[in-house]
Amino acid sequence: MLHWSINQIKLDLKYTWKISRNATTFKINSIITCSDEKHQGQGEIAPNIRYNETPELILNSFEQFVNTGANQIKNASELSLILNQINAPNAMRFGIEQAYIHYLCAQNNQTIYEFLKIEKPLKTNTCYTLPIMDPAEIVSFFNENNLNRFAYLKIKISVDGALDEIKTLANIYQKPILIDANEAWKDPDALINFMDNLKDLNIAMIEQPMHSSMVNEYKYLKPRAALPLMADESFCAQVDFAELKLQFDAVNLKLMKAGGYLNGLRLIHEAKKNGMKTMVGCMVETTLGMSGAYAFTGLCNYADLDGYMIIAEEPFGLLKEENGEVYLVN
């Protein structure tokens, strides 16, 4: 019989994490443990308020999960059936599936790479993300955090002040920059004009500039955009790729949105089949959750695995970063 437990942890951040939707100085994530008398596995839940995921919802959903036969699960298919039955939030689906698959790996003396039938990645370049800040603060933030060591950077923006932020960063950093708007724009023509002003800068991509509901606006935007477009909030657990590739050139896979390793693997393969570039990304999460994302780095064109780096006291120490590259400690 399986034993399941949940432990919520408060993660204080090194600085205010500000995006176009909100700002915070801490996160409350949950650690899931799945065990029997001999083996155990752990997973992480990093809820996102964008998808109406709150710490309270996670606790309530976990109680439902435990009360719906979770201790009798025999395989991943039975796990998926229960998670579907209770309509589990995607972040919780990932944390529970991660814990269960890690338990199976411990039971069978397997690595996660053997279980998923993928190659273990080597050290990989990750980008580092600057939160929204006053352009006057960017130079000192860049220098204090030694950001020139990263092969590419991402910068969060809102509509107001975006051009000044990006140009300030581009003046001190000559490597590729990714822009993340977190659905800030409402007018595609204004967005086209904004991107036209960036043509002379080393901008690799712009991520989710408008709301995911603006499907027709994205179809209008894509052939007119001066920059490649990457889907984030538009790329969740269930995706119509025939529609998505009319809106975006690339996708950002976050396992907390995909709902687990297995669906994440399916999504990455489908994105590639449809000719889309791929990034593996993250929420603000510890290296426990991030170790799951790291497993996908060998399958993707880009990695954005800096979420644990902004936690003041990261508790697991499963990943390290040197010279802009991340790697597993063991």
pLDDT, tens only, 243-273: 999 999 999 999 999 999 999 999 999 999 9
Q: Identify the domain boundary among 115, 134, 154.
A: 115
Residue 177 has pLDDT above 80, yes or no: yes
User: What are 151-170's pLDDT values in tens digits?
Assistant: 999 999 999 999 999 999 99
Q: Both 108 and 55 in a single domain?
A: yes
Based on the domain organization, do 228 and 90 belong to the same domain? no
What pLDDT, on the 0 to 100 scale, is given for residue 9? 98
**183 and 322 belong to one structural domain:** yes
In degrees, rounded to 5, the angle at the alpha carbon of residue 71 between the alpha carbons of residues 66 and 73 is: 110
115, 150, 171 — which closes off a domain? 115
**Per-residue pLDDT, 188:** 98
Mean pLDDT of the chain, nearest integer: 97
Query: Residue 73's pLDDT is what?
Result: 96
CATH number at residue 320: 3.20.20.120
pLDDT reported for residue 143: 98
**In contact, 301 and 277? CB cutoff 8 Å:** yes
pLDDT at position 260 is 97
- The pLDDT, as a whole number, for residue 326 is 97
For residue 57, pLDDT over 90 is answered with yes
Total domain count for the chain? 2
What is the rounded radius of gyration, in angstroms, for the C-alpha atoms of the chain? 20
Residues 132 and 59 placed together within one structural domain of the fold: no
Are residues 133 and 108 part of one domain?
Answer: no
Select from 60, 19, 3, 16 the least CA-distant residue to 184: 19
Last residue of a domain, one of 89, 115, 141: 115
User: For residues 317 and 329, what is the distance between their CA atoms, to the nearest angstrom?
Assistant: 8
Please list, in sequence order, all residues whose beta carbon lies within 8 angstroms of the beta carbon of residue 104, skipping any fewer than 6 positions away.
41, 76, 110, 115
Asked if residue 159 and residue 299 are part of one domain, the reply reads yes
What CATH number did the domain enclosing 54 receive?
3.30.390.10
The C-alpha atoms of residue 53 and residue 177 are separated, in whole angstroms, by 30
Instruction: Indicate if the pLDDT at residue 318 is higher than 90.
Output: yes
% of residues, the chain, pLDDT over 70: 100
What is the Cα–Cα distance from 207 to 204, expressed in whole angstroms?
10
Cβ–Cβ under 8 Å, residues 100 and 41: yes
Positive or negative: CA dihedral 105, 108, 113, 116 = negative
| Together in a domain, 224 and 84 | no
Q: Is residue 35 located within the same domain as residue 149?
A: no
Structure tokens of 204? 């690799």
**Both structure tokens of 29:** 């994530």
Secondary structure element (H or E) that encloses residue 102, with its range: helix 90-108
H-helix or E-strand spanning residue 8: strand 3-18
Are residues 305 and 276 part of one domain? yes
Q: CA nearest 54: which of 63, 45, 67, 44?
A: 45
Q: 121 and 251: one domain?
A: yes
pLDDT tens-digit readout, 90-103: 999 999 999 999 99
Which residues, listed in sequence order, are joined to residue 90 by a DSSP beta bridge?
none
Assign 330 a pLDDT band (cuts: 50, 70, 90). confident
Shared domain for 57 and 183, answered yes or no, is: no
The predicted structure's pLDDT at residue 123: 93
pLDDT of residue 192: 98
Q: What is the pLDDT of residue 122?
A: 87
Residues 145 and 291 in one domain: yes
Could you tell me whether strands 325-328 and 319-322 are parallel, antiparallel, or unpaired per DSSP bridges?
Answer: antiparallel
pLDDT score of 65 more than 90: yes
Residues spanned by the domain of 43: 3-115
